[in-house]
Amino acid sequence: MSDNKDDVENRGPPPAYTAPAYNAHQYNYPPQAQYTVVTAPPYGQRFPVVTQPPQDYFCASVIVTIMCFWPTGIIAIMRASEAREAAARGDMITASQRSSSARSMVRLTILIGSIFLIIAILIIGLAIGLSSRNYNDYYDRYDD
């Protein structure tokens, strides 16, 4: 009796459940390509889960372009625009990456603009200091 039970378990599905053979060439279809579908990230990596559209920093990038340093500000505007477009088409991962890049460019633009502002203040202060010293030296010679 146990032999009969093992025989039933090892037979597989009855012939009525088998799929019919399909030959693509018989219907004049070209052969289909083989695709690999990845359902999980590689070991040790994680896909970020983004549910809301990230901030695109477009307004900030326009302001720093006008007020700080325009070459990096233009790059910040481009990244912010790319982030906005990616969020509009539903690609939140790309939108998050471009948003982070736009934020970095805004910060870099502020840093470069601040450095230029400090240099300009030092140059103007030095010029005023040197001119006032020359002014005082000129009148000190003729006061006697």
- 105 touches 79 (CB < 8 A): yes
Residue 57 has a pLDDT of 94
User: How far from chain centre, in Å, is Cα 4?
Assistant: 64
Question: Please, which pLDDT band fits residue 9 given cuts at 50, 70 and 90?
Answer: low
Nearest partner of 83 among 69, 70, 97, judged by Cα: 97
* Mean pLDDT, all residues of the chain: 79
Question: Please, which pLDDT band fits residue 132 given cuts at 50, 70 and 90?
Answer: confident
The residue assigned the tokens 């990596």 is 45
Residue 58 has a pLDDT of 95
Three-state secondary structure of the chain: CHHHHHHHHHHCCCHHHCCCCCCHHHHCCCCCCCCCCCCCCCCCCCCCCCCCCCCCCHHHHHHHHHHCCHHHHHHHHHHHHHHHHHHHCCCHHHHHHHHHHHHHHHHHHHHHHHHHHHHHHHHHHHHHHHHHHHHHHHHHHHCC
| Mean pLDDT within 113-138 | 84
pLDDT digits (tens, 9 = 90+) for 26-85: 556 556 666 666 566 667 777 666 568 889 899 999 999 999 999 999 999 999 999 999
Q: Which residue has the higher pLDDT, 95 or 50?
A: 95
- Taking the C-alpha atoms of residue 34 and residue 19, their distance in angstroms, rounded to an integer, is 20
The CA angle 75-81-84, to the nearest 5 degrees, is: 145
